[in-house]
């Protein structure tokens, strides 16, 4: 074991498995139901807070000047197969570990009162989910990655299926089947890569040159898996259903972290390992992404359910991410990464906003609301900020990623930039339309006349997200600095790989 | 330091009012924001005086890094040059007066809610200040979108009114269409120049003269494409023909907001952008011809609509639209200095007119329809006098401010040869006539004749308190003085001394010189047109009050065409709004629910049927399963080997 990483101890493994330990403790709690619930809540909160505090080591100790993997840990696992337990983060993944550890305590706090049944199991599932997410972003061995990647499905499936809304079983199964179908193909790709490279070590695979024809098939296999997770059009329909039925905290994690898994996969596997296929398939990805942006923005405009609207807006925002990734230039990828982070914060916050009124009125129907500004000024202010961030107002988190992707896309094509940015207009339309129907207008319904503004607990949930949204908007370079070196290296390697392929083609061709 | 204080004092006021307004109350929130504004105005004016008259040197105040990615680096920085200093001084001065006026105007609002209004006003001012002091295009875009947000919040201030909410959304979304063009323009500038800081761009203008860019199936000079894209942004913010539809609706907000939007902040942003980017735009002649064309068309179009409107604020709103057209005529012919000059004088007299209209509305118990006014000039003489001054300035009567700036615009248009410039000149001349006509129509119908309001309203007509009339008088002073004091400095022989390097005129551009050598009739014509417009309005509305109704009946088609604002809203509703909404619904119901979900659900039912058969294979024996898996692996590996 190589324990001599920057932290001086196996930090990433600790971050990954500490939640599991917390979960185990929770499952051992015995006693009367109310006591169990309270203990489970507090244990989960403390566990996640400690994990978050530990993860801050990454923020302070990560060497931003290096494009290499850091905090690396490696233990031989199945040496005869070339498979090791290997963890580590680079600029691409480090902030997603932090995003995961930051969102989990907020989610636990947000579920404090809204989850009333099987609290212990809920908190356990949530901590297991945290283990899977952190492990997924930190894994540096394909097999380890695959296990975490698939492992995420199980607690999420339970969260939707057990604590979800009326159609939770349909939504949970749809979610499971869609994402699993893609994953099977990724398993095939894994086998093929292992077969070709003799190792499942991700840095090794990145250095391996796969033949262009092989790349094509590998790319398609990865694509099947990641496109569903992103989700890209037209395999996006599981998302609105999953969001609508999931409990608030589930939606937050789903939008905040799980949607990033697909895009992360593209960045970790498809682009660096399969440069020729990336270049070959980029136009297809652009086309699908542009359709996603315009199509799902329009669909969002027609929604009558708050959560569905935000879910569709997520698909549109992730379309911007996939455009950025496949431009494979620094602004595009950097913008995509930023958009992933900011979407994690902002859409998570928007789902929390829905959760606030859902807890009070138990409805997500937009038409059931109106005029909340009178009774809930603090809520209205927070909702306005997150709406504006979602719309991409400069000075908020949402702008930076969108604009960098716009610049990156412009380098590829004017049309890609124009069509990919249609979300600027349509996004403004559907978010403001939503805001108007929920917050503005006069209060007409009796049940809204006594609705309460944010409670101190809710303010505690929103305050960090408000600060993050503004911080990311006003001083985004404190985030981009983490991945600048990695992105630069990735783009350079991509350009070099394409050049060598075309040189090779030149040699072979007469 | 002065300059930075001028920019950030309003932000501080706004934040304090926003975060603590509920606790500290309306009075304190008003005090805080107004103090912030007064500090800003003092600092802003001092910074302007120091730069232009005191020999301070222009420079850039860097505040910190903003966005950075690869070679794309943008800082938060304030640019201190004549153009930005003039704008800062004007914006802070006028916004301060509007803040003070609002104390009186909003006094009838329910207590405990007005802090929100003042916070938004200061936010609006801050965003505009960030826009004009930006040192790079992205920060300009920050301010650009910031004024969009603030205008959205203020137009929708009375959020319980559906029409206000609709107008607010319309303003934001229509602006966003322009903003998309602007954002693309910024991206293209980055692709061409490799930087988006102004110094970087301007230094490299010479090197990229002949760069080309292919779009829409043709290859154009990159500068032309940049010019068009930036102007699309300007069209949105400055309400030019096509993207003007939000501006008249924006009067749904409280009247001080209209004054702020129409005078100091927001709509002038597009004109400012043209002046700021003059070093590049100077070399994009076709794009600039397009600017002149759109500006001229807007000037005339909006004036025709203004002639028949009945809402006092709507008339003034269309006059803004029209005057902005003038500014773009001047910018398009390369006389950026003249366009900024008109921007300045217009800011004073338009703020005056709107606040004066607010004073009228205040006096008339919130009546806005001039058909239900009349006969009140003796009751509110001060407001009446102020409206006269504003109208005289707007109509371009000597020696009021508008006379100098409008003449300058039209002289520049005449002096700059070319078909579009002449189109601009004649549109401007016609619009000058119409402007004077509708201004006096407004004055006469509002103040003169027999009272048409009910007795109850008439009994309550009263002059506004000092807190409202003092700002009016200060603005009136500006509407009188800014013309002849600034004309010689901004456009006279020593204009270069005044502007420094902040506005660039190419070596081929002599318009600033030529405009002083136009024939005498060109100089006289705008004033003549203005005076005849006044005379006609006087003759018709004082002499033959029945005539307008007869005319409206006789030319019913034309009248309705103008009254309905050339049917732009209806047209857009038909071709954009409704199709978009029905497309949205069908994509959702048909695209997602039927087609996309139909396939997997179909597969699922197939699988269910298939599963029935598979059940027979399931024997429960592990050996069988293992065998099946082995076959599977063999098949997969073979497939892999074959395709390799």
Contact at 8 Å (CB) between B340 and B489? no
CB proximity under 8 Å: B 113-142 to A: 138, 141-142
The confidence score (pLDDT) of residue B609 equals: 63
Contact at 8 Å (CB) between A408 and A329? yes
- Per DSSP, the three-state class of A440 is coil
Question: How many whole angstroms separate alpha carbon A210 and alpha carbon A193?
Answer: 9
Least confident of B70-84, B320-334, B348-362, B538-552: B538-552
Contact at 8 Å (CB) between A349 and A331? no
Out of A403, A417, A440, whose CB is closest to B165? A440
Nearest to A279 by CA among A328, A222, A233, A209: A328
The confidence score (pLDDT) of residue B642 equals: 52
Question: How many whole angstroms separate alpha carbon A257 and alpha carbon A162?
Answer: 20
Average pLDDT, chain A: 88
Contact at 8 Å (CB) between A321 and A423? no
Residues 6+ apart with CB under 8 A from B445: B370, B371, B373, B374, B541
Contacts A373 to B, Cβ<8 Å = 159
Residue pLDDT, tens place only, A161-178: 888 878 888 888 888 778
- Paired with B76 in beta bridges are B64
A378 sits in which H/E element: helix A377-391
Residue A386 has pLDDT above 90, yes or no: yes
Phi-psi domain of A365 (left: phi exceeds 0; alpha: psi -120 through 50; beta: other): beta
Residue A467 has pLDDT above 90, yes or no: yes
Residue B249 has pLDDT above 50, yes or no: yes
Residue pLDDT, tens place only, A114-137: 888 888 888 999 999 999 999 999
Question: How many whole angstroms separate alpha carbon A101 and alpha carbon A94?
Answer: 11
Question: How many whole angstroms separate alpha carbon B151 and alpha carbon B257?
Answer: 8
Out of A301, A335, A409, whose CB is closest to B581? A301
Q: Do A295 and B587 touch (CB under 8 A)?
A: yes
How many Cβ atoms from other residues are within 10 Å of residue A14's Cβ?
18
Structure tokens belonging to residue A387: 């709406």
Nearest to A246 by CA among A161, A160, A178, A179: A160
Structure tokens belonging to residue B73: 């680096």
Phi-psi domain of B25 (left: phi exceeds 0; alpha: psi -120 through 50; beta: other): left
b/e sequence A360-390, b meaning 16+ C-beta within 10 Å: ebeebebebbbbbbbebbebbbbbbbbbbbb
Question: How many whole angstroms separate alpha carbon A470 and alpha carbon A53?
Answer: 21
Nearest to A424 by CA among A392, A381, A458, A460: A392
Nearest to B384 by CA among B311, B304, B268, B464: B464
Residue A1 has pLDDT above 50, yes or no: no
Structure tokens belonging to residue B262: 């129409």
Structure tokens belonging to residue B135: 């040192």
Question: How many whole angstroms separate alpha carbon A7 and alpha carbon A358?
Answer: 42
| CA dihedral for B205, B207, B210, B212, sign (positive or negative) | negative
b/e sequence A417-439, b meaning 16+ C-beta within 10 Å: bbbbbbbbbbbbbbbbbbbbbbb
Question: How many whole angstroms separate alpha carbon A316 and alpha carbon A391?
Answer: 11
- Per DSSP, the three-state class of B81 is coil
Structure tokens belonging to residue B628: 């099946």
Nearest to B356 by CA among B379, B326, B320, B380: B380
b/e sequence B218-241, b meaning 16+ C-beta within 10 Å: eebbbbbbbbbbbbbbbbbbbbbb
Question: How many whole angstroms separate alpha carbon B51 and alpha carbon B39?
Answer: 18
Give the burial class of A510: count Cβ atoms within 10 A of its Cβ; 0-12 exposed, 13-18 middle, 19 or more buried.
exposed
B8 touching A (Cβ < 8 Å): no
The confidence score (pLDDT) of residue A2 equals: 46
Contact at 8 Å (CB) between A349 and A249? no
Residues 6+ apart with CB under 8 A from B171: B148, B151, B152, B155, B246, B247, B249, B250
Higher pLDDT, A269 or B215: A269
Q: Do B587 and A302 touch (CB under 8 A)?
A: yes
Question: How many whole angstroms separate alpha carbon A99 and alpha carbon A338?
Answer: 12
- Paired with B315 in beta bridges are none
Query: Which residue of A lies nearest to B187 if distances are taken between CA atoms?
Result: A407
**DSSP labels for B11-80?**
HHHHHHHHHHHHHHHHHHHHHHHHHHHHHHHHHHHHHHHHHHTS-PPPEEEEEEEEEEETTEEEEEEEEE
How many Cβ atoms from other residues are within 10 Å of residue A31's Cβ?
10
Residue pLDDT, tens place only, B145-188: 999 999 999 999 998 888 999 999 999 999 999 999 999 999 99
The pairing of beta strand A83-89 with beta strand B59-69: unpaired
Residue pLDDT, tens place only, A290-344: 989 998 999 998 888 999 999 999 999 999 999 999 999 999 999 999 999 999 9
B213 sits in which H/E element: strand B212-215
Out of B148, B159, B213, whose CB is closest to A440? B159
Contacts B142 to A, Cβ<8 Å = 394-395
Contact at 8 Å (CB) between B240 and B324? yes
Out of A407, A428, A481, whose CB is closest to B176? A428
Place of tokens 């197939």: B606
The confidence score (pLDDT) of residue A510 equals: 40
Contact at 8 Å (CB) between B194 and B178? no
The confidence score (pLDDT) of residue A504 equals: 66
Structure tokens belonging to residue A482: 């983490």
Residue A357 has pLDDT above 80, yes or no: yes
Nearest to A478 by CA among A160, A56, A64, A155: A64
Least confident of B290-304, B356-370, B623-637: B623-637
Query: Which residue of A lies nearest to B157 if distances are taken between CA atoms?
Result: A440
Average pLDDT, chain B: 87
CA-based angle B597:A426:B196, to the nearest 5?
130
Query: Which residue of A lies nearest to B188 if distances are taken between CA atoms?
Result: A410
Q: Do B149 and A188 touch (CB under 8 A)?
A: no
- Per DSSP, the three-state class of A239 is helix
Residue A508 has pLDDT above 60, yes or no: no
Question: How many whole angstroms separate alpha carbon B465 and alpha carbon B380?
Answer: 11
Contacts B158 to A, Cβ<8 Å = none
B108 touching A (Cβ < 8 Å): no
The confidence score (pLDDT) of residue B532 equals: 92
Crossing angle (nearest 10°) for helices A330-361 and A477-508? 130
Q: Do B69 and A487 touch (CB under 8 A)?
A: yes
Average pLDDT over residues A458-475: 93
Average pLDDT over residues A349-362: 90
- Paired with A84 in beta bridges are A76
Question: How many whole angstroms separate alpha carbon A84 and alpha carbon A13?
Answer: 14
The confidence score (pLDDT) of residue A359 equals: 87
Out of A303, A441, A476, whose CB is closest to B66? A476
Give the highest mean pLDDT range of B535-549, B603-617, B630-644. Answer: B535-549
B220 sits in which H/E element: strand B218-221
B169 touching A (Cβ < 8 Å): yes
Residues 6+ apart with CB under 8 A from B350: B259, B262, B263, B316, B319, B320, B323, B390, B394
- Per DSSP, the three-state class of A70 is strand
Looking at the complex, report in whole angstroms how far the Cα of residue A420 sits from the nearest Cα belonging to chain B: 11
- Percent of chain A at pLDDT > 70 equals 97
Q: Do A213 and B644 touch (CB under 8 A)?
A: yes
Question: How many whole angstroms separate alpha carbon B609 and alpha carbon A509?
Answer: 51
Inter-chain contacts counted by CB atoms under 8 A, chains A and B: 162
Residue B423 has pLDDT above 90, yes or no: yes
* Cis amide leading into A116 (omega within 30): no
Residue pLDDT, tens place only, B598-633: 776 666 666 666 655 555 555 555 555 555 555 555
Nearest to B307 by CA among B561, B136, B126: B561
Contacts A421 to B, Cβ<8 Å = 180, 183-184
Structure tokens belonging to residue A20: 């599991």
Question: How many whole angstroms separate alpha carbon A126 and alpha carbon A152?
Answer: 10
b/e sequence B278-295, b meaning 16+ C-beta within 10 Å: bbbbbbbbebbbbbbbbb
Average pLDDT over residues A349-366: 90
Out of B68, B141, B187, whose CB is closest to A477? B68
The confidence score (pLDDT) of residue B499 equals: 85
Residue B142 has pLDDT above 90, yes or no: yes
The confidence score (pLDDT) of residue A182 equals: 76
Contact at 8 Å (CB) between B150 and A388? no
As for the ipTM of the complex, it is: 0.90
Write down the number of H helices and E strands in chain B: 28, 4
């Amino acid at each position: 074991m190589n324990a001599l990483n920057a932290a001086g101890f196996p930090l990433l493994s600790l971050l990954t498995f500490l939640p599991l330990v917390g979960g185990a403790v929770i499952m051992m709690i015995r006693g009367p139901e109310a006591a169990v619930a309270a203990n489970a809540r507090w244990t989960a909160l403390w566990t996640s807070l400690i994990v978050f505090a530990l993860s801050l080591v990454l923020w302070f100790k990560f060497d931003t000047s290096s494009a290499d993997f850091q905090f690396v840990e490696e233990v031989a696992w199945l040496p005869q197969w070339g498979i090791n337990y290997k963890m580590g983060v680079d600029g691409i993944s480090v902030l997603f570990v932090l995003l995961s550890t930051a969102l989990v305590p907020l989610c636990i706090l947000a579920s404090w009162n809204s989850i009333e049944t099987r609290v212990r199991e809920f908190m356990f599932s949530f901590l297991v989910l945290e283990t899977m997410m952190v492990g997924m972003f930190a894994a540096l061995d394909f097999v380890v990655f695959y296990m975490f990647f698939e492992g995420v499905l199980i607690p999420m499936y339970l969260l939707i299926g057990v604590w979800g809304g009326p159609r939770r079983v349909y939504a949970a199964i749809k979610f499971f089947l869609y994402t699993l179908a893609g994953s099977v193909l990724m398993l095939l790709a894994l086998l093929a890569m292992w077969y070709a490279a003799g190792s499942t070590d991700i840095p090794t695979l990145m250095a391996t040159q796969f033949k262009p024809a092989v790349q094509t098939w590998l790319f398609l296999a990865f694509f099947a898996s990641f496109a569903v997770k992103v989700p890209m059009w037209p395999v996006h329909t599981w998302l609105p259903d999953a969001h609508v039925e999931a409990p608030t905290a589930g939606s937050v994690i789903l939008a905040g972290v799980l949607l990033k898994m697909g895009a992360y996969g593209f960045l970790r596997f498809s682009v660096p390992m399969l440069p020729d296929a990336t270049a070959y398939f980029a136009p297809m990805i652009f086309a699908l992404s542009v359709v996603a942006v315009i199509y799902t923005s329009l669909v969002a405009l027609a929604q009558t359910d708050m959560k569905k609207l935000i879910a569709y807006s997520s698909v549109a925002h992730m379309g911007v991410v996939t455009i950025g990734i496949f431009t494979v230039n620094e602004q595009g990828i950097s913008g995509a990464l930023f958009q992933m982070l900011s979407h994690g914060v902002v859409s998570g916050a928007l789902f929390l906003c829905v959760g606030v009124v859902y807890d009070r009125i138990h409805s997500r129907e937009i038409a059931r609301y109106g005029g909340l500004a009178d009774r809930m000024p603090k809520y209205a202010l927070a909702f306005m900020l997150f709406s504006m961030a979602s719309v991409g107002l400069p000075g908020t988190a949402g702008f930076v990623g969108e604009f960098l992707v716009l610049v990156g896309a412009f380098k590829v094509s004017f049309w890609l930039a124009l069509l990919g940015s249609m979300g600027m207009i349509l996004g403004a339309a559907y978010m403001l339309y939503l805001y108007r129907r929920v917050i503005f207008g006069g209060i007409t319904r009796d049940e809204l006349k006594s609705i309460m503004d944010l409670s101190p607990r809710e303010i505690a949930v929103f305050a960090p997200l408000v600060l993050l949204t503004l911080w990311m908007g006003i001083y985004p370079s404190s985030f981009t600095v983490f991945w600048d070196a990695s992105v630069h290296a990735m783009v350079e390697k991509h350009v070099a790989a394409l050049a060598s392929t075309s040189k090779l083609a030149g040699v072979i061709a007469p | 330091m002065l300059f930075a204080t001028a920019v950030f004092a309003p932000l501080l006021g706004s934040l304090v009012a926003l975060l603590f307004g509920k606790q500290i109350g309306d009075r304190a929130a008003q005090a805080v924001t107004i103090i912030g504004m007064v500090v800003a105005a003092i600092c802003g004016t001092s910074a302007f005086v120091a730069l232009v008259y005191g020999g301070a040197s222009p420079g850039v105040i860097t505040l910190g890094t903003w966005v950075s990615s690869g070679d794309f680096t943008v800082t938060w920085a304030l640019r201190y040059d004549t153009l930005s200093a003039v704008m800062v001084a004007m914006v802070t001065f006028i916004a301060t007066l509007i803040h003070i006026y609002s104390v009186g105007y909003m006094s009838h609002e329910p207590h405990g809610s007005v802090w929100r209004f003042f916070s938004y006003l200061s936010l609006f001012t801050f965003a505009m200040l960030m826009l004009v002091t930006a040192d790079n295009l992205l920060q300009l875009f920050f301010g650009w979108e910031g004024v969009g947000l603030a205008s959205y919040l203020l137009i929708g201030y009375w959020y319980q009114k559906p029409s206000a909410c609709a107008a607010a959304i319309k303003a934001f979304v229509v602006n966003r269409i322009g903003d998309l063009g602007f954002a693309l323009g910024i991206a293209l500038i980055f692709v061409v120049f490799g930087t988006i800081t102004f110094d970087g761009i301007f230094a490299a203008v010479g090197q990229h003269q002949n760069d080309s860019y292919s779009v829409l199936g043709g290859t154009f000079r990159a500068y032309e494409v940049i010019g068009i894209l930036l102007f699309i942004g300007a069209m949105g913010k400055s309400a030019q023909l096509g993207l003007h539809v939000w501006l008249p609706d924006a009067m749904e907000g409280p009247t001080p907001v209209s004054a702020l939007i129409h005078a100091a902040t927001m709509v002038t942003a597009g004109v400012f952008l043209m002046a700021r980017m003059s070093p590049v735009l100077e070399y994009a002649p076709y794009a600039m011809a397009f600017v002149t064309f759109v500006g001229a068309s807007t000037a005339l179009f909006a004036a025709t609509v203004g002639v028949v409107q009945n809402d006092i604020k709507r008339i003034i709103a269309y006059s803004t639209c029209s005057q902005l057209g003038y500014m773009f005529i001047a910018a398009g012919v390369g006389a950026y200095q003249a366009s900024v000059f008109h921007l300045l004088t217009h800011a004073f007299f338009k703020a005056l007119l709107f606040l004066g209209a607010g004073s009228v509305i205040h006096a008339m118990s919130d009546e806005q329809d001039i058909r239900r006014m009349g006969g009140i000039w003796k009751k509110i003489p001060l407001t009446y006098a102020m409206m006269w001054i504003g109208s005289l300035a707007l109509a371009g009567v000597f020696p009021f401010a508008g006379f100098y700036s409008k003449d300058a615009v039209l002289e520049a248009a005449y002096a700059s040869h070319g078909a579009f410039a002449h189109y601009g000149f004649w549109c401007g001349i016609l619009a000058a006539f119409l402007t004077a006509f509708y201004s006096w129509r407004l004055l006469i119908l509002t103040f003169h004749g027999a009272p048409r309001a009910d007795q109850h309203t008439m009994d309550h007509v009263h002059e506004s308190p000092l807190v409202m009339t003092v700002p009016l008088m200060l603005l009136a002073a500006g509407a009188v003085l800014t013309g002849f004091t600034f004309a010689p400095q901004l456009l006279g022989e020593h204009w270069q001394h005044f502007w420094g390097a902040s506005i660039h005129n190419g070596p081929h551009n002599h318009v600033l010189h030529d405009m002083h050598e136009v024939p005498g009739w060109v100089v006289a014509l705008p004033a003549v047109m203005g005076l005849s417009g006044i005379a006609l309005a006087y003759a018709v509305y004082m002499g033959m009050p029945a005539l307008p109704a007869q005319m409206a009946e006789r030319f019913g088609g034309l009248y309705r065409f103008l009254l309905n604002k050339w049917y732009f809203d209806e047209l857009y509703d038909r071709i954009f709004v409704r199709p978009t909404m029905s497309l949205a619904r069908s994509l959702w119901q048909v695209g997602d629910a039927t087609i996309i979900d139909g396939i997997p659900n179909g597969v699922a039912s197939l699988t269910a049927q298939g599963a029935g058969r598979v059940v027979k294979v399931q024997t429960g024996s592990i050996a069988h399963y293992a065998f099946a898996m082995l076959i599977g692996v063999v098949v997969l590996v073979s497939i892999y080997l074959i395709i390799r």
